[in-house]
Chain A
Amino acid sequence: MEGAGIISTLSLSIVVTTIAVIEFRNLKYSAYAYCLQALLMCSIFIVFASKGNPHIYLWALFAFITKVVIIPFLLLRYIKKTTIREIKPPIGYLPSIIISCIIMIIFYNITHVNANFIAPNVEATKEPFRTILAVSFTIFVLGLYCILIRRDAIKTVHGLCILENGVHLSLVSLAPTLPETAIVGVVTDVVIAVYLTLYVIYGVYREFGTTDTYQLKNLRW
């Protein structure tokens, strides 16, 4: 496919922005990195749409509205209401970067080599779909890592957004024929989920005076 090189480059730079979102200790910069990641995702959609899939332009539009505009806006708004510095995570700065890079390399390789187990048809095992698929699974796992390992509740929302981006990106390879109604439903759900989670986290902040999830231990067993 024409433009495969551009798409592969873009999708690999998405992985780099993911590491940035996870590793920035300033939540505001994380949100900006997330915004950049969403922008890269939109450009993948646009490149893809220009190669003969015009209805993907709409996907790019929805992704732009929700992921570049609304979600970063919500994140920044609630970061402003709570704290900008992330609560110190249990894993230090350098080890965390090393771990996320290891996860990135391992998962990227596994999914790139074994794309046949994920790809529903032969088309999806060819470049650039293969790279996109591997990237989307890698982002998904990195998002999961961010949610599991971080103490700061707002940071876990960043992880959630990354994870959802992973799913969203995989749609290009797996289901390019998916109708718009389904896409609208999925992105609306994601926006509402992020909003409600941030809203509840603000409640946590007001009740506990912190967004540290380690303080949330009243309910056990």
Chain B
Amino acid sequence: MSEIVSSYCIWIFIVPALTAMFILLFGNKKFLREWVALIGMIITLIISIVILIETQSKVLIEFGSHLRIDSLSSLFSFIISVIGLMVIIYSFKYVEREKEKGIISDKKVKSFYWQVMLFISTMLFATTTNNIIILWVIIEATTLASAILVAFYWNKDSVEAGYKYLMLLTVGISFALFGCVLLYSGAASSLIKGEPLQISVISEAAKAGIIPSSIILLAVAFLIVGFGTKAGIAPFHAWLPDAHAEAPTPVSALLSGVMIKVGVYALIRTVTMFYTSFSIISVFIVILGIFTMVVGVFMMFIQEDLKRFLAYSSVSQMGYIIMGLGLSGVVPAMSGVVKDGSYISMYGSLFHIVNHSIIKSLLFLCVGAIVFKTGIRRINELGGLGRKMPITAFCFFIGGLAISGVPMLNGFMSKFTLFLAGVKVPGMVWTTVVAIICSILTLASFVHVSYRIFMGPISSELKSLNISEVPASMWLMMFVLVLFCFILGVSPQVIYPILNNATNVVLSIISKGGL
């Protein structure tokens, strides 16, 4: 593919960063911060759409290829921009309400907006950079930018969550720094063309077998621990339910919808290039994925807090994504060529990343609507909300069905692809069996929870409250996401060209001899 120099590579993350700075400096008026955030996000979305279209046939580079956007990066930056815009629009009423209730001060509202914009900016930067050390720096920066948002309410629970979030992620990510430095030095120690800091150059070096094989396993182990912590892979997921539950709900939607995917992106960029060096790597990743999936799904059943319930559902769904990521390397690891289910498992994995972003943001926004009206998160204190909040109930049901993989909805399409992948890859049928069982358990838990929240008599805690549907700016965002669920569920071919290109990028990283 031809590489062309394009300044879009800079603008995509500079625009939200500038917006954040503007809000920080001048955001004391309500309309200034809200409208500036909205306009900034719309511009970012437009840039990401342009990039998405451009990268289907070319690769965009800038600063001597230190910033590099191919179709894999543009897929992630597109997801981040779309979900980011939804979350910003949703936040208007949500944050305003929190301020009216006296939970947060006006100063905090301002810090909410600029920190969310900064958070989005760091995530976009992470998908754009081609420099391995900067990749680490910026993934750590996503943690730092969101840390104060996690501890936003500054009460007992949220400072505890904030402390755990910062501590676990910083320690976890330090492992990844060791891994990144090892990769850099492995590539730097030999004579190769280009600068060894660049991930694309490192993957060329890995393909050519230049990186000494003695350090590969250690580096990969460090990278999996480091970026796996960010991606919420069990057993490094301990920060995830705390942070997701205690952050303000729009931030939870961002954390769960996109931030953990950035961890997966970093894994794809740094680990997949070694699949053909050691066959154990891909199998290990498959096992981690299955473990994550099972842990997540069982923890869902014992949750009393609605947001923690969704957080564990995220852990479980990350398991599917990681499983697909590992499956794509099983055959190439043995034969050195990409065939027999490599394509389909990578495709399924990327498709599930897109779908999980949509569905999990939708579910968190629905829970946000419930918290907005009732202020209650405990499942056993809620009940009978369906008649009072019909749109929220409908959206939550669709989200629950989609995430469990019910046909006609998008979750089915990606999960079915992953099931097929398990069958196609030799010796991996058991993964399909486990994945199907986990899907059924997910469906069971979601039906159970939806029933308890929305059906039956109105619970005693809610009787005194005057509950009605949430404002249009909130339910409209949920509705748009439901529409995405249906569109991708009924005609998944609309996204095929984009995913196909992104999959081919990953497969060209994996394969030794080209496609």
Contact = CB atoms under 8 A, between A and B. Distances in A.
Nearest to B159: A203
Nearest to A208: B156
B161 interface: yes
Nearest to A137: B178
B374 interface: no
B197 A182 contact: yes
Interface string B122-150: 00000000010110110011011001100
Contacts of B159: 200, 203-204, 207
B299 interface: yes
B237 to A, nearest CB: 12
Nearest to A183: B133
Contacts of B466: none
Interface in A112-163: 116-121, 123-124, 140, 144, 147, 153, 156, 160, 163
Interface in B201-224: 211-212, 214-215, 218
A128 B167 CA distance: 33
Contacts of A196: 144, 147-148, 166
Interface in B255-312: 299, 302-303, 308
B177 A178 contact: no
A179 B151 contact: no
A185 B125 CA distance: 14
User: Is the contact region of chain B dominated by helix, strand, or loop, or is it mixed?
Assistant: helix
A221 B312 CA distance: 10
Interface in A163-202: 163-164, 167, 170-171, 174-175, 177-179, 181-182, 185-186, 188-189, 192-193, 196-197, 200-201
B140 A189 contact: yes
A193 B214 CA distance: 32
B242 interface: yes
Nearest to A193: B170
Given A167-B174, A193-B170, A178 B215 contact: no
Query: What band does the interface of chain A fall in when counting residues whose beta carbon is under 8 Å from B?
Result: 35 or more
Contact of A171 (B137, B171, B181): B181
A204 B163 contact: yes
A124 B186 CA distance: 11
Interface string B162-175: 11101100110010
Contact of B181 (A123, A147, A174): A174
A214 to B, nearest CB: 12
Contacts of A123: 189
Given A174-B185, A185-B133, A204-B159, A193 B140 contact: yes
Contacts of A140: 174, 178
A27 to B, nearest CB: 17
Contacts of B166: 193, 196-197, 200
Given A160-B167, A203-B154, A193 B144 contact: yes
Given A117-B218, A197-B163, A200-B151, A219 B137 contact: no
Contacts of A167: 174, 177-178, 181
A126 B265 CA distance: 36
A135 to B, nearest CB: 14
Contact of B133 (A116, A120, A182, A221): A182
A207 B133 contact: no
B171 A163 contact: yes
Given A120-B182, A182-B197, A207-B155, A221 B215 contact: no
Contacts of B170: 160, 193, 197
Contacts of A201: 163
Nearest to A157: B167
B212 A120 contact: yes
B156 A177 contact: no
B156 A218 contact: yes
A216 interface: yes
B34 interface: no
Contact of B134 (A174, A185, A200, A221): A185
Nearest to A173: B185
CB-CB nearest 9 A-B residue pairs: A121-B189, A185-B137, A182-B133, A120-B185, A203-B159, A174-B185, A200-B162, A216-B160, A120-B186
Given A163-B171, A193-B144, A203-B159, 8 more contacts: A140-B174, A160-B167, A178-B133, A185-B133, A200-B151, A200-B166, A221-B302, A221-B303
10 contacts: A120-B189, A174-B182, A182-B133, A182-B197, A189-B144, A193-B143, A200-B151, A200-B162, A200-B166, A216-B164
Interface of B: 131, 133-134, 136-137, 140-141, 143-144, 147-148, 151, 154-157, 159-164, 166-167, 170-171, 174, 177-178, 181-182, 184-186, 188-189, 197, 211-212, 214-215, 218, 241-242, 245-246, 299, 302-303, 308
